[in-house]
Chain A
Amino acid sequence: MSSKTSALRLQVESALARRGGLAARVASPFQYRDQPIVETALTGVPPIDLLTGGLPRGSLTEIYGPPCSGRTSLLVSALAMRTAASEVCALVDARDAFDPHSAEAAGVRLQQLLWVRCRNVDQALRATDLLVQGGGFGLIALDLGDTPAREVRYVPLQVWFRFRRAVEHTPTIFLVVEQESNAKTCASLVLGLHAQETRWTQTAGSAGGNSLRHSPGCLLDSWKSRAEIIRSRAKRENLWVREPNEICADACDDGTEFDTTAVWGGVRKR
């Protein structure tokens, strides 16, 4: 810092200190403050964990994307990791879309999951507010994945801000799954997902030359999804933001791909 700047800083700080009262509380407004270390928790999807460093605790994280983009698989994987670590999790399901069968198959300990089945956005937000104010949960997820985007856009920004403030300085991960990003600056981490390639197994008797893939015993094997960081406070560089919803398929430092495998999928012995 130049000498002129230092002198100016000292002058301002001493003037504030002389003034007293409320001004004295900010006697050193220009003092550099270290960024607090943000604790993170793994999602259970290695490429995502490598890309983001994990889900930040005490913060709001958004995962958005169109249906079939892998949002729910990522959410369930995060729930599985938290419940495996003996943490209590809560899922506020705005459209009652949660499937306990696939969740248990993915490793979620259902007895450690509090599932709130809502009928609309209003119920979901009220239930979420009660949970974040109550505290004590390792992960609270608000699933707005099936709620039309136009309904979620009407949620005021102060609601997201209130949620973020409620989980700040707590070990709770607050995760929102939706079709598009809505929390704006309230979110510490925003991930955009979209689907790429689907793989099917073709056992003996594969279909002929027609475009419709079907054969007896054909099974969904896996699909590939692409995830990109739209916003991350944890970036070492300055706060880095892209325009939401601009997910490009180009190779990018802030994008990665991950596979989700069907429960019955895997290498088969021939």
Chain B
Amino acid sequence: MAFASIFVPNFLLQAVVRAGPAIGKRALVLIEGNPPLCSVVAVSEKATQMGIEIGMTKTDAEQFAGVEIRSRSPAQGKIAHAVLLDIGWSVSPRIEDTAQDAIVLDLSGLTSLFGAEKDITTHLVERAAACGLRVNVATAVNIDTALIAARGFTGITIISPGEESQYLGELPISALSPSDETAEILNRWGVATCADLARLPILDLSERLGQEGVRLHALAQGASERSLVIAEPAHSFEEEMELDDAVEELDPLSFLLGRMLDQLCVRLTARALGAAAIRVRFELQPSFENAVDIREAFPTQRRPSLYEKEIQLPVPARDSKMLLKLLRLRLQLNPPGAPIQKITLAAEAARPRATQGGLFLPSFPDPEKLELTIARIAHVVGEGNVGSPSLTDTYRPGEFQMRRFLTPQEASKTSGDSKSVRHAAEQRASSKVSTSFRVFRPAMPAQLDLQAGCPTRVAFQGLRGDVIAVSGPWRTSGDWWREDPWQQDEWDLEIHFHDSPVGRDRSAHLQPNSGIFRFYYDSLRRGWFVRGVYD
């Protein structure tokens, strides 16, 4: 049984640089604390070369020219830690969440999947690099040795059984994380390295340092044994970015969203998952009118307003380019309306759908391509004007709702043939073709002449005609308990038109001499309307 430990050196700095790779090339310093007592908690290599040290005050750090000073971001640290866990879970199902900057993986049974330990560690380093983290990886037969080696050595370290003390011997005592008191005692004794500590007799060490001494002795020899504390796999995938300058235009925003989506998709791919939904949240720069309460004597700190959008996907996807296109189309339809100062992107993870096409099955649109096509169409015609019609449970004439268009696989799970569809299937079997109707939306106002309660002449939309056949009236009413009841008398009228109003048009011969229309008298609005035509 072997264990691998992944350690992220200078974790706080890497968490910030991961969100904005461009700042990694500069001399970067992270500060923390309440002003004026801010102190430096992390420094980049360039800043170290300039002479900046951890513990310095912000004022001292500002004396150095060309230094970028940022505040420590707990949110970005949390996201970087989540990324580290994802890297671990992408390889092994059993990992321990040891610290914010270190995890341990159980490598049992993975050689058949990933190869030898060297291949596994190389894979881990590459995957971490793809996620924007530079890591140290070490393997050993016990957990603590792997952890200490990952913290102490840069790059990949593979410790074979029996070589633990040899590798750990050259590391300083601080690699074992002793308490301050114990460290001072060991320092006074001249014990500087793990090899020095390992050579000390265990009984004498336990008499002077107690149980901690015994523990440190075992660690130094690479002989400590303990079990892995398995961490529960997390299912939240979130990326966050705080912007120095608020972004207003869609193009630069798309660039940032694309980068965040790339990171999200890499993490999802590492876990063999897809995004079933994408949630985007923007913190907007508050406008002056909204931020200041004129009733207050002293305006409080401006509270940013939020913009939230959720995109549900028909099938789990992890194509960052497709997701970016969808996001862009939605943002073009409903722009935020104010400059954006913080972006949070979250993906709802789900297992990717595996479907197998058949040779003799009808072809279906590709779900991801279809979703993009529907989004583009919605951009042209409006969001509520594309989808599947669905009849509602009401007798109100012409009532329906537009639903999201489902892929055929999803539709087949949820649909059951309605009674009318079955009736129509029987009718088709008997070679009958049903009459269809074309609706006028909105209904056209009409003028009708009545004799003995029966329409005889009609006029609407510039057309005039005589009624030659009548069916009706058929009264419908309902929803009297609501604020919008209806009461209509419907008539089917066959009309012979006098003369086409477009008689001069060369297509006048195409105008019908007669037609069958549905008229209705709206008792509540007290008017006649044309609902549509049979065609």
Which chain A residues have a beta carbon within 8 Å of chain B's beta carbons?
44-46, 65-77, 80-81, 84-88, 96-119, 123, 126-127, 130-131, 134-138, 145-146, 149-150, 171, 179-180, 195, 198, 200, 211-214, 218-220, 222-223, 245, 258-263, 265-266
Contacts and interface: CB of A to CB of B under 8 A. Distances in A.
A118 B421 CA distance: 26
B388 interface: yes
Nearest to A69: B535
Interface size class, chain B? 35 or more
Nearest to B376: A130
A123 B381 contact: yes
A115 B388 contact: yes
Given A218-B471, A220-B516, A220-B534, 17 more contacts: A97-B439, A100-B391, A101-B398, A103-B436, A104-B421, A107-B424, A111-B388, A113-B388, A114-B388, A117-B385, A134-B365, A134-B372, A136-B365, A136-B370, A149-B507, A218-B469, A223-B435
Contact of A212 (B391, B403, B470, B492): B470
B469 A198 contact: yes
B390 to A, nearest CB: 6
Contacts of A104: 391, 418, 420-421, 424
Contacts of A111: 388, 390, 403, 406, 411, 414-415
B433 interface: yes
A36 B424 CA distance: 35
B408 A86 contact: yes
A130 B509 CA distance: 34
Chain B interface, DSSP helix/strand/loop, else mixed: mixed
A179 B510 contact: yes
B130 interface: no
Nearest to A124: B381
4 closest Cβ contacts across the A-B interface? A136-B365, A107-B424, A106-B434, A72-B535
Interface of B: 361-366, 369-370, 372-374, 376-377, 380-381, 385-391, 398, 400, 402-403, 405-406, 408, 411-412, 414-415, 417-418, 420-421, 423-425, 427-428, 431-441, 454, 456, 467-471, 492, 494, 505, 507, 509-512, 514-516, 532-535
Contacts of B365: 88, 134-137
Contacts of B512: 66-69, 195
Contacts of A80: 424, 428
22 contacts: A70-B535, A75-B436, A84-B425, A98-B439, A99-B436, A100-B389, A105-B420, A106-B433, A108-B421, A111-B415, A116-B381, A118-B385, A127-B380, A134-B369, A134-B370, A134-B372, A145-B535, A180-B510, A212-B454, A260-B436, A261-B427, A263-B434
A66 B511 contact: yes
Contacts of B510: 65-66, 149, 179-180, 245
B63 to A, nearest CB: 59
B434 A45 contact: no
Given A111-B406, A130-B373, A219-B471, A102 B436 contact: yes
Contacts of B533: 67-68
A260 B434 contact: yes
A120 to B, nearest CB: 10
B377 A214 contact: no
B264 to A, nearest CB: 25
Contacts of A258: 433
A179 B507 CA distance: 9
A117 B417 CA distance: 25
A191 B380 CA distance: 30
Nearest to A193: B535
Contacts of A65: 510
A213 B373 contact: no
A184 B44 CA distance: 71
A89 to B, nearest CB: 11
B535 A96 contact: no
Nearest to B434: A106
| Residue among A68, A75, A146 having the largest count of chain B Cβ atoms under 10 Å | A68
Contacts of B439: 96-99
Contacts of A218: 469-471
Given A102-B435, A105-B434, A222-B435, A138 B514 contact: no
A97 B436 contact: no
B434 A77 contact: yes
Contact of A214 (B366, B433, B469): B469
Nearest to A48: B433
| Residue among B370, B380, B400, B441 having the largest count of chain A Cβ atoms under 10 Å | B380
A200 B492 CA distance: 11
B333 to A, nearest CB: 15
Nearest to A83: B421
Given A136-B365, A261-B435, A112 B408 contact: yes
A127 B382 CA distance: 11
A48 B433 CA distance: 11
B507 A76 contact: no
B107 to A, nearest CB: 44
Contacts of B532: 97, 99
A127 B515 contact: no
A41 to B, nearest CB: 10
Nearest to B374: A114
A45 B433 contact: yes
A107 B427 contact: yes
A44 B425 CA distance: 11
Nearest to B423: A105
A245 B509 contact: yes
A260 B433 contact: yes
Contacts of B468: 211-213
